Structures are given as C-alpha cells and as structure tokens.
Homo-oligomer: A and B are copies of this chain.
Amino acid sequence: MEARKKDERLRDVTRRMIMDRTARLLVEKGYGTTSLRDIAQACDMKAGSLYYHFEGKDALVEAIMARGVTLVETAVRGALDAQAADEPLARIKTAMAVHLETLHDRSDYGSAHIRCFAHVPPEIRQRLREMRAGYEAIWTELLQEAKSGGAIAQDIDLHTLKFALIGMMNWTLEWRLPSDAAPDEIADRFFCIAFEGVRHG
C-alpha cells in the first residue's frame, strides 16, 4: 500500500503537469484553437496518451477551469479567515490583493478560466457558472458587511459594485505590460479608485 500510494501520487503529478501546460495554452490560444496535439506536444507526449489521464479534451478543459475558480476561492477565503476580526474595508482590500495575485503570479488556471469561459461548450459553462456563483458570494457578503457597517454609502448598488470590482481586476489580464506594477500595488490603486473615489486626494 506504500507503493500504491506512491504510484497514485505519480499519476497525479503527471495529471497536474498536463493541466499546467494546457492551462498555459488555453490562455494563449483559447479553447477552440488549442488542439489535443498541441497539448500533447507541450507535454512531450502523443495525443492518444492523454486519454489515459483524462476522458477527453472537454474533461481536461473543465478540470482546468474548475481549478481556476477553486484556486482563487481557496486563496481568498484563506486570507479572509485569517483576517476575520478586521474591519470590512480592510478585508475587501485583502481580497482584492489575493484575487489579483492568484490570477497573475500563481498559475494559469484562473486566467484560463476567465479567457475561455465564454466559448467553452454550454454544459461545461453551466457547471462553471455555478462555481463562479459560489465565489462571487464571498464578495456579495463582504460588500454587504461593509455596507451595513456604514463603510459603504447606502445608495450604492452592491450588485453593480461587485461586478465593477471583479471586472477591473479580471481585465488586468489584458494589460500584459511588463512594466505594470505588482498585484498588491494594483490592488491598492483599485481600492483607492473604488472606495476613496478619484476626486479625493
């Protein structure tokens, strides 16, 4: 059983390697333009061999994109739990920094999810939509706490605010400038823009 465990770990390592490299391809080329042969080549394998690890292209893609949500959600939840006692605005700022950091510095899973979501087959998209909703609930809750605590003005629509924050964060994937600031610096600026308002210096 010792050996069996090691085997299973080895299998998982390969699985993860395939997902890592496929995620990169999905970010760069998209769902429809990335072929199983592209993926196999990036993994130093032949296309048919991938079927030992995944049921097919769609299963592989879905696993990657689901992991994209999970990674961000886990990171953000972890950071928020460690800061459970802080005031709402500070926790929001933390959530923004972790969201951006996971997207840019950790891996390509989150980016692959964002980049490919709209064009992935409908059944997959539907399942991913439910996962997204689970993650977005964190933000809904965060913003609601801030509002009921008086840190957000009463006339602000939280639904709009949530999408505004997520939108500006996810759009950073389009920046692609090597000169851009680090994720937590960008989080600071975004927080300033949305919460202080750019009028007030």
B-contacting residues of A (Cβ < 8 Å)?
Answer: 27, 29-34, 115, 117-119, 151-157, 160-161, 163-175, 181, 186, 189-190, 192-201
Contacts and interface: CB of A to CB of B under 8 A. Distances in A.
Copies in the complex: 2
A68 B189 CA distance: 29
A29 B167 CA distance: 21
A192 B31 contact: no
List 4 A-B pairs, minimum CB-CB distance, nearest first: A197-B197, A32-B32, A167-B171, A153-B201
Nearest to A192: B156
By secondary structure, the A interface counts as helix
Contact of A30 (B32, B154, B156, B201): B32
A197 B193 CA distance: 7
29 contacts: A27-B118, A30-B30, A30-B31, A30-B32, A30-B118, A32-B34, A33-B119, A118-B174, A151-B199, A152-B199, A156-B189, A156-B193, A157-B189, A160-B186, A163-B168, A164-B168, A164-B190, A164-B194, A165-B168, A167-B169, A167-B172, A168-B171, A171-B171, A194-B198, A195-B197, A196-B199, A197-B198, A197-B199, A200-B200
